[in-house]
């Protein structure tokens, strides 16, 4: 059995490896070669924490396992990230535990890879302005991955807590692109691609604020009750997701579905676009929206890559069970 400690992972896995792992498993899901098991996510009534399991099996990549963890909102004050998770991989031939892999950094890179995959496959090729809604831990990972998909010239941002916007400004500076703090009206009017990555429980971005041709990646809503965009925006857009079952229950589409504004057959898995069985964006005026709910198979895909890289680099700790 192998342990890949959290601390070695940032030096092992790069954005290209993560992008390829996530794009490949989304394709496998849409072909029916990989599937996620039902998600368990509970408010444990302690430390305001949400805790649960995401799991699945990828027959094509032979990844079987689960991610255990959740969200502890008080962690930042303790110098820890709010998301805490660990990935367990099992041998699909024997059921034996194969690896324990730190899941914090991998969660951030696999989530950033998911919105990147959506930008690559759905955003207009001439997209120039990236709009960021949210300035928490995930936002910097999202921005770094997104700018690799199009020739962006400017990044603009809005956050519910404006004092956190320095994270976006610093990350844009590191990337080498100008950054501007804007109102939500300005963000919608200027941005060609918008990423929302917040823990909001009420709509932030309204349908009327978004211009034709925009691609929106809604990445923050991963729990029942959370919401980042107005349901009318979902109804107006061509909607894609990682997995329909999650999208309509814990993802951004849960509200539009509950309000009867869309039906689940109007939502397409992004894997279909990756596999070439759905055209994706069909015009420059179309608003495309990716509901990135975060599936267990993304975690297993990047953890499997991390294990291979850790063995190759000598960072893997081997233990006899
Ligand atoms: P964080 O705690 O570091 O940041 C939270 C962000 O949400 C900040 O921008 C904050 O200003 C904003 N926010 C907080 N309360 C708000 C409110 N009432 N209204 C609007 N905005 C508010 O969290 P993070 O690690 O950056 O994660 C952000 C979100 O992304 C969380 O909801 C998390 O569960 C989700 N997430 C989703 C996936 C996925 O795969 N889809 C993966 C990881 C995290």
What are the sequence ranges of the domains in the chain? 2-107+297-318, 124-294
- Please name the residue that has the structure tokens 């081997």: 318
Best residue among 69, 116, 140, 197 to mutate for probing ligand 1, ranked by most atoms within 8 Å of CB: 197
Average pLDDT score over the chain: 97
pLDDT for 82 equals 87
- Let me know if 59 is a catalytic residue: no
d(CA 22, ligand 1 centre) in Å: 21
Cα of 309 vs centre of ligand 1, distance in Å, is: 29
Q: From edge to edge, which strands make up the β-sheet containing 238-241?
A: 179-181, 154-158, 129-133, 193-196, 215-218, 288-291, 238-241, 267-269
Residue 5: CB atoms within 10 A of its CB come to 13
Structure tokens at 20: 């390829």
Residue 107, both tokens? 């969660």
pTM flag (> 0.85)? yes
Ligand 1 mean position, distance from CA 198 (Å): 3
What separation in Å is there between the alpha carbon of 200 and the centre of ligand 1?
Answer: 7
Task: Return the closest-CA partner of residue 1 out of 100, 67, 85.
Answer: 100
Q: Where does ligand 1 bind, in terms of residues with CB under 6 Å?
A: 71, 82-83, 107, 111, 134-139, 159-161, 164, 197-200, 204, 219-220, 222, 292-294
* Confidence category of residue 41, pLDDT binned at 50, 70, 90: confident
Give the residue, by CA position, lying nearest to ligand 1 atom 7: 198
**pLDDT mean over 264-273:** 98
Q: Report, as an integer, the average pLDDT of 229-252.
A: 97
Q: Report H helices in 217-263.
A: 231-236, 244-249, 253-258
Which of these is catalytic: 54, 59, 67, 173?
Answer: 67
Atom of ligand 1 nearest to the CA of 111: 40
Residues 6+ apart with CB under 8 A from 79: none
Q: Residues 38-46: what's their mean pLDDT?
A: 92
What is residue 301's predicted lDDT score, i.e. its pLDDT? 98
Length of the chain: 321
CATH 3.40.50.720 fits domain 2-107+297-318: no
Q: pLDDT value at position 78?
A: 95
pLDDT of residue 223: 87
Q: Which long-range contacts (CB under 8 A, 24 or more apart) does 173-178 make?
A: 175/143, 175/144, 175/147, 177/147, 177/152, 177/153, 178/153, 178/154
Segment 48-98, tens digit of pLDDT? 998 999 999 999 989 999 999 988 999 989 999 888 999 999 999 999 999
Ligand 1 centroid distance, CA of 205 (Å): 15
CA-wise closest residue to 15 among 172, 153, 143: 143
Under DSSP, is residue 209 helix (H, G, I), strand (E, B) or coil? helix
Q: What percent of the chain is modeled with pLDDT above 70?
A: 100
- The CATH superfamily label for domain 124-294 reads NAD(P)-binding Rossmann-like Domain (3.40.50.720)
Could you give the percent of the chain with pLDDT greater than 90? 95
CA 187 – CA 158 distance, rounded (Å)? 8
Residue 161 alpha carbon, nearest atom of ligand 1: 11
Positive or negative: CA dihedral 168, 169, 172, 173: negative
């Amino acid at each position: 059995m192998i342990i890949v400690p959290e601390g070695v992972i940032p030096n092992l896995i790069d954005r290209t490896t993560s992008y390829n792992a996530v794009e490949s498993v989304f394709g496998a899901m849409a072909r029916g070669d990989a599937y996620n098991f039902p998600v368990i996510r509970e408010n444990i009534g302690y430390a305001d924490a949400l805790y649960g399991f995401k799991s699945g099996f990828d027959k094509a990549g032979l990844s079987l396992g689960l991610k255990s963890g959740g969200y502890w909102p008080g962690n930042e004050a303790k110098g820890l990230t709010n998301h805490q998770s660990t990935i367990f991989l099992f041998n699909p031939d024997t059921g034996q535990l194969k690896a324990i892999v730190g899941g914090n950094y991998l969660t951030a890179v696999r989530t950033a890879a998911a919105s990147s995959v959506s930008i690559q496959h759905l955003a207009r090729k001439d997209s120039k302005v990236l709009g960021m809604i949210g300035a928490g831990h995930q936002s910097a990972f999202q921005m770094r991955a997104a700018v690799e998909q199009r020739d962006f010239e400017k990044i603009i941002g809005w956050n519910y807590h404006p004092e956190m916007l320095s994270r976006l400004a610093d990350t844009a500076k590191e990337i080498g692109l100008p950054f501007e703090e804007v109102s939500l009206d300005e963000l919608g009017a200027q941005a060609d691609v918008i990423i929302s990555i917040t823990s909001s429980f009420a709509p932030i971005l309204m349908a009327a604020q978004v211009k034709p041709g925009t691609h929106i990646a809604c990445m923050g809503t991963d729990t029942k009750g959370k919401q980042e965009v107005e349901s009318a925006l979902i109804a107006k857009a061509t909607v894609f997701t990682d997995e329909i079952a999650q999208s309509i229950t814990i993802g951004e589409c849960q509200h539009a579905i509950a309000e009867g504004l869309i039906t689940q057959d109007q939502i397409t898995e992004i894997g279909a676009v990756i596999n070439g069985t759905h055209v994706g964006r069909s015009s420059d005026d179309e608003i495309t929206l990716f509901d990135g709910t975060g599936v267990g198979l993304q975690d297993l895909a990047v953890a499997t890559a991390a294990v291979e890289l850790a063995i190759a680099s000598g960072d893997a700790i081997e233990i006899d069970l």
